[in-house]
Structure 1
Amino acid sequence: MTSLDDRKFEITNKLEKEQSNLNILVERLAKSSQISNGIDTILNTFETRLSRLEDTILPVYNETENLHKTKQNIDKTLQLLDNVISYYEVSSNVEDVIEKGPSVVTDGGIDLEIYLKSLNRLSKAQKYFEKHIPQSVELENVMSLFNKGSDKLSSEFRTILDKHNRPILPVALLNLINNDDDALNEDLPTVPIVIPPPIRAELITMANWLYNNGRDEYLTVYGKVRGHSMMKSLTSLKTYQRSVSGGSVHGTAGSPMLRPKFQNRHEPTRRPSTRRLQFFEKKANEVAIF
């Protein structure tokens, strides 16, 4: 009996423990369910509030985006207005520059690069008024100042040519042409520099601007001035040959420049060879350029 009682007691204790564990499990399940219900309630509340917040913020966001676009449009409009206003102010801004004129060789003038930039500003303003406001009084002011500036640039171009337009001395010309047929391919004397390279670069810049802006009268000016200089050079050469040949224009026996080459030749006259003619043409072209 004792063994049976012990066994019964042991089973009873196990049942009590299991019952206790079961009660704890049920209690914890109840708490877990309660917590789950609480979390579900919180999530539902959060979702509801989030939906309300979205309904409140979305119009504000859309309005902010519209305001941002409006600001961008205003900025672009202000930039365009500033650009247009600059066209109205360009005459007063560059008038002093145009009045002084360019100073490549003229004292008291404006640097050529700055002067051309001012003329370009006037040109842009003129095109704007011609396209959008052809009846504007400002168009007349801009055109008048632009034409005045262009005239001063052309005048400076002529002044530069006149200043550096010196005839070539007869001796220098003879040094260029006094070469025998057999020596045409040898090293020859350097062509005299008529216009210094820095001044030549300025002339090219001025000529390009005048040509691009429809002021091609500089071509006629250049042709006349340089042509006159070349004629003076040839006239001086002719006079020099006459003086050293005893009055004969065609004689060369008395020329100190030509005697070493031709004093031992006995043929009276001969036609220049094609190579010599080509050589003379080449040298004439080299002298004629800037």
Structure 2
Amino acid sequence: MYHPSEWSSWRQQNKMAISLGTRQAADEEARAEVEVLNSRLDKTSQLTKKIQASLSRLESSGRSVQEAVGPLYGSTQKLQTLGANIDGVINAIQRIRQPSDIKSNEEDIIRKGPEKAGLAAFLSSVKRVNKALQEMKQTNLRTNQQAVSDLSRLLKAGNTQLEGHFQHLLQEDSRPIEPLYYITKDKAFPMLSQDKTTRLGLINSYIGSSMRQSGTSGESPVLQLYASVRGPYLTATLQNLASASLNTAKKKSPDAIYRQGTNGMGHYAKGMEAAFLAEYDNICGLFSREEWSRVFNLTCQGSISEMARTLRELNIHIKNNLTTDCYLAYEIIEIISNLSSNLDTRTGELRPTFAAALKPIRETGKSSLGELLEDTRRRISNLPTIPGDGAALPITSETMTRLQTMVDFLRPISSIMISIGDGGWKSAPNTNNSSDQIPTLKSFDVGADGKQIFAHYSVDTIDTLLTSLEARAKPVLKGKPALGVFIANNATVIERSIRNSDLQPLLQSRMGDIDKWRKTGAQLYTLAWREPSAHLLDVQYTNRGNRPQSGSAAAIDSAAILKGLGSKDKDSIKEKFRLFNASFDELVAKHKSLSMEKEVREMLGKQVQQMIEPLYGRFWDRYHEVDKGKGKYVKYDKGSISGVFLSLT
């Protein structure tokens, strides 16, 4: 490599050479650059050798450093491990000391209880104990076993006090009330206050959370606690209504027919519905949604059991007075069915429970239909006698009154009719296979008409009544007039009862069946009047002289007709008048002695008149001169006999 002074001198020489010629100058410059590059390569080689020598020395120094530093690094790692171990020991010591500190800090608060310490402070303390206990169980240190046991006992004591406080708070607002005050004033039943609900909710939330954290299975004890307090509250609140339902069923007169709304069951159901709905709102504000059903059923169980007991006692009363109090069964069926439906719509609960409680009375209601028919047959067959005057029997009016009263309970009776089917009253219900469920529309034949089936039942009842009466009267009223009047009287009482009541629209299409019975009675009655009618028939010989005159009655000449008769024929006419008079007078007296309903008397009087008067008028026109107006044989003229007929109606 050139020294700078040398390079400068060389360039000056070159400049001078260049001037000698351009080509010579270029060649010289190229040779100079090659020389410079060669010089640089020599210096680079020398530098590379120096670097290699330096790297060799550095590598040798590195091995020396590694040999010197290695033991120091190992010692440093050991020191780090030792430090970590020391920290772990310190932490372990702190954890060992922690339970003792927690117990000392929280035990005083828990010992005071939620009332003295305050619910918020007490809950915070119990939560801290619970958290510490869970963490301690996770460490699984043998030295913590005693501490775990101590904290467990402390936590259990705290939870027990919380449950007791929960119960105490509930009891403050669970004194029985008088339900009639709220029912008659149309007021909502009282609920738990908002402040009380908030405090109860905090306790319930903590206990539920604590159970989930600890992995405890089963339901929260708070559910049972709530039911154990509010259940007796509901039962005690409704107790007076239950007693009133039994007391109002007692009868002053054994024969008194139950009248709609006179039993206390209606108020009982209203009170129960209002109380249950208020309780359901309490539960919804206090418990989680998945707990609502369980708590509500537990809470209401006692009240429904008391209602079931009340219904069983009422059922015994109804069975003992079935003919007069079967309507109470129908009313209870409707009341409890409506109660169950209303609560089910609002809460979705209790329908099966109500159905089970109602089952005995519902079965009594079903069986009553057939038993009432059988009672009608039995009472008629056991009648001591049948009135000889053909008067209608009281059982007819009683039976029709029963049907009229049933119309007042047509809704529950219709549901019974649909459930047993048309004609189902003719066979005893199988109570063993009866469902506990209160019937709904889905359980009915959608094509069935409860009113129509009841109409069929009413017709069956009437037919059973009249058939039994006829069978009982035949051997007693051997005379056909009295038997006919008896049948017609009872049929007329039935018809009148239908037309003057709400039975009329139900049985309008079946009135012809009842009218047949009345016509049957009229036919039996008029059979006896054939005898006097027979005496008014005479034999006319058209091939003899003095042929009977035709034309109007005024044109008939009785004297001329009699003049053409022989003495034997005249005597026969006299005998016919005599026999007619005797038979007619006897039947008139019998007619007047019989007891007839107004409609029957008018009907039978007109039928007798239509049957006898035309025959007598014709016979009188022809033969009244047989005793020349002395009245010895011809007792009645046409005017007087017409008056007799008028007296019959």
TM-score by length of 2: 0.31
Q: What secondary structure, in the 3-state scheme, does the structure 2 residue paired with 1:196 have?
A: helix
Pairing of 1:62-101 with structure 2 (within 5 A) = 70=78, 73-74=81-82, 76-78=84-86, 80-95=88-103, 96-101=105-110
1:158 aligns with 2:164: yes
CA distance 1:19–1:253, shift in 2 (3 Å): closer
CA distance 1:172–1:227, shift in 2 (3 Å): farther
1:116 aligns with 2:127: yes
- TM-aligned CA deviation for residue 159 of structure 1: 1.0
Does the 8 Å contact 2:126/2:158 carry over to 1? no
Aligned residue in 2 for 1:232: 233
Task: For 2:75 and 2:132, locate their aligned partners in 1 and report how far apart those are by CA, in whole Å.
Answer: 35
Task: For 1:277 and 1:258, locate their aligned partners in 2 and report how far apart those are by CA, in whole Å.
Answer: 11
Q: Which runs of 5+ in 2 are unaligned?
A: 1-16, 250-262, 272-326, 351-649
Task: For 1:174 and 1:284, locate their aligned partners in 2 and report how far apart those are by CA, in whole Å.
Answer: 25
- TM-aligned CA deviation for residue 20 of structure 1: 8.3
- Number of residues paired by the alignment? 250
- TM-aligned CA deviation for residue 285 of structure 1: 6.9
Q: Which runs of 5+ in 1 are unaligned?
A: 1-9, 179-187, 260-266
- TM-aligned CA deviation for residue 203 of structure 1: 1.7
Q: What is the percentage of aligned positions where both structures have the same residue?
A: 7
Task: For 2:31 and 2:65, locate their aligned partners in 1 and report how far apart those are by CA, in whole Å.
Answer: 50
Q: What secondary structure, in the 3-state scheme, does the structure 2 residue paired with 1:101 have?
A: helix
Aligned residue in 2 for 1:49: 57
* Alignment-mate amino acid for residue 140 of structure 1: Q
Q: What secondary structure, in the 3-state scheme, does the structure 2 residue paired with 1:232 have?
A: helix
1:270 aligns with 2:281: no
Provide, for residues 182-220 of structure 1, a one-character-per-residue CA deviation record: whole Å limited to 9, x for no partner. Answer: xxxxxx969833751453133222233146547789955
Task: For 2:348 and 2:236, locate their aligned partners in 1 and report how far apart those are by CA, in whole Å.
Answer: 14
Does the 8 Å contact 2:102/2:129 carry over to 1? yes
Q: What secondary structure, in the 3-state scheme, does the structure 1 residue paired with 2:162 have?
A: helix
Task: For 2:64 and 2:106, locate their aligned partners in 1 and report how far apart those are by CA, in whole Å.
Answer: 61
- TM-aligned CA deviation for residue 90 of structure 1: 2.1
1:200 aligns with 2:201: yes
Pairing of 1:102-113 with structure 2 (within 5 A) = 105-108=114-117, 110-113=121-124
Provide, for residues 35-77 of structure 1, a one-character-per-residue CA deviation record: whole Å limited to 9, x for no partner. Answer: 2243123211332233234424556786687567556645653
CA distance 1:67–1:257, shift in 2 (3 Å): same
Q: What secondary structure, in the 3-state scheme, does the structure 2 residue paired with 1:36 have?
A: helix
CA distance 1:37–1:224, shift in 2 (3 Å): closer
Does the 8 Å contact 1:161/1:225 carry over to 2? yes
Does the 8 Å contact 1:153/1:206 carry over to 2? yes
- TM-aligned CA deviation for residue 146 of structure 1: 2.4
1:148 aligns with 2:154: yes
Task: For 1:232 and 1:173, locate their aligned partners in 2 and report how far apart those are by CA, in whole Å.
Answer: 16
Task: For 1:78 and 1:249, locate their aligned partners in 2 and report how far apart those are by CA, in whole Å.
Answer: 86
Pairing of 1:176-187 with structure 2 (within 5 A) = none
Aligned residue in 1 for 2:40: 32
In angstroms, what is the RMSD of aligned CA positions?
Answer: 5.1
Task: For 1:277 and 1:141, locate their aligned partners in 2 and report how far apart those are by CA, in whole Å.
Answer: 54
1:252 aligns with 2:264: yes
Task: For 2:229 and 2:129, locate their aligned partners in 1 and report how far apart those are by CA, in whole Å.
Answer: 33
Does the 8 Å contact 2:99/2:147 carry over to 1? yes
Does the 8 Å contact 2:110/2:126 carry over to 1? yes
Task: For 1:123 and 1:233, locate their aligned partners in 2 and report how far apart those are by CA, in whole Å.
Answer: 40
Task: For 2:48 and 2:99, locate their aligned partners in 1 and report how far apart those are by CA, in whole Å.
Answer: 76
Task: For 2:270 and 2:209, locate their aligned partners in 1 and report how far apart those are by CA, in whole Å.
Answer: 42
Does the 8 Å contact 1:98/1:149 carry over to 2? no
Q: What secondary structure, in the 3-state scheme, does the structure 1 residue paired with 2:116 have?
A: coil
Task: For 1:258 and 1:142, locate their aligned partners in 2 and report how far apart those are by CA, in whole Å.
Answer: 54
- TM-aligned CA deviation for residue 24 of structure 1: 6.0
Task: For 2:336 and 2:190, locate their aligned partners in 1 and report how far apart those are by CA, in whole Å.
Answer: 22
Task: For 2:75 and 2:246, locate their aligned partners in 1 and report how far apart those are by CA, in whole Å.
Answer: 95
Does the 8 Å contact 1:102/1:156 carry over to 2? no
- TM-aligned CA deviation for residue 147 of structure 1: 1.0
Q: What secondary structure, in the 3-state scheme, does the structure 1 residue paired with 2:115 have?
A: coil
CA distance 1:87–1:27, shift in 2 (3 Å): closer
Task: For 1:59 and 1:30, locate their aligned partners in 2 and report how far apart those are by CA, in whole Å.
Answer: 44
Does the 8 Å contact 1:170/1:236 carry over to 2? yes
CA distance 1:222–1:240, shift in 2 (3 Å): same
Q: What secondary structure, in the 3-state scheme, does the structure 1 residue paired with 2:332 have?
A: coil
Does the 8 Å contact 2:113/2:122 carry over to 1? yes
* Alignment-mate amino acid for residue 127 of structure 2: L
CA distance 1:270–1:124, shift in 2 (3 Å): same
Does the 8 Å contact 2:162/2:203 carry over to 1? no
Task: For 2:217 and 2:28, locate their aligned partners in 1 and report how far apart those are by CA, in whole Å.
Answer: 115
- TM-aligned CA deviation for residue 154 of structure 1: 1.9
Q: What secondary structure, in the 3-state scheme, does the structure 2 residue paired with 1:203 have?
A: helix
Task: For 1:197 and 1:76, locate their aligned partners in 2 and report how far apart those are by CA, in whole Å.
Answer: 49
- TM-aligned CA deviation for residue 258 of structure 1: 5.7
Provide, for residues 56-102 of structure 1, a one-character-per-residue CA deviation record: whole Å limited to 9, x for no partner. Answer: 45567866875675566456535543443233112222122133129
- TM-aligned CA deviation for residue 232 of structure 1: 2.6
Does the 8 Å contact 1:210/1:216 carry over to 2? yes
Task: For 2:214 and 2:52, locate their aligned partners in 1 and report how far apart those are by CA, in whole Å.
Answer: 76
- TM-aligned CA deviation for residue 229 of structure 1: 3.0
- TM-aligned CA deviation for residue 143 of structure 1: 0.8
CA distance 1:104–1:170, shift in 2 (3 Å): farther
Q: Which one scores higher on RCO, CA 8 angstroms, separation ≥ 6? A: 1
Provide, for residues 136-165 of structure 1, a one-character-per-residue CA deviation record: whole Å limited to 9, x for no partner. Answer: 4x5224312321232122212221221133
